[in-house]
Amino acid sequence: MNVKVEVKGDFHKKRSLWKQKAWLFLKITVIVLIISFLVRGFLFTNYIVYGQSMMPTIHDGERIIVNKIGYEINEPNRFDLIIFHATEDSDYIKRVIGLPGDVVKYVDDTLYINNVSHEEDFLHVHKEAHDNGLFTENFNLLEITGEKEVPPGYVFVLGDNRRNSLDSRHIGFIPIEEIVGKANMAFWPPKKIRFF
């Protein structure tokens, strides 16, 4: 007497189940990659800060999150921390000081915008530690840029470490179209996580 054992069906079921799981995993992976690409490409990105021009607000080597969509909807605000294309090879992080139409000057370590003095609370730590003359040298836009006011479509930016910053005093006005986005938070190292 011959007895046939049917194992073919079990094998096909297991193989079919494995294919379904592999296909599901592949779909999830593709969806996650697409979402990551879209978020990184159009909404948020991260940067590593190099240099000391934004100290003490942001330190050398810190990693920050940049909101790329905000300025597609709104214009930059005064004192925003922005990332912009400074050269073909490098992006800078600086603070917006002057908006289009603003007349900007510094007199005796005081910021004047349109002849109104403005407090810069983010500079107090630096100013207290600094005792060698002015923290921000006196200047007005006409002296350093040849323009009386910030032109339409541009902003005037400064680093928070005024004595060690390559900013609009040296490179001129920044076209708004060259702004990558607004720095929202520092996330690395973990013990220094904070929002700006």
Catalytic machinery residues: 53, 94
Token pair recorded at residue 56: 């003490």
Residue type, 61: G
- Tokens 């054992």 correspond to 5
Rounded to 10 degrees, what is the CA torsion of 146, 151, 155, 159? 10
12: Cα separation from own chain's centroid: 53
Q: Are residues 184 and 195 in contact, defined by beta-carbon separation less than 8 angstroms?
A: yes
Q: Are residues 178 and 82 in contact, defined by beta-carbon separation less than 8 angstroms?
A: no
CA distance 10 to 71: 58
- DSSP secondary structure, 115-158, as one string: TEEE--GGGHHHHHH--SS-SS--EEHHHHHS-SSPPTTEEEEE
Q: Are residues 35 and 26 in contact, defined by beta-carbon separation less than 8 angstroms?
A: no
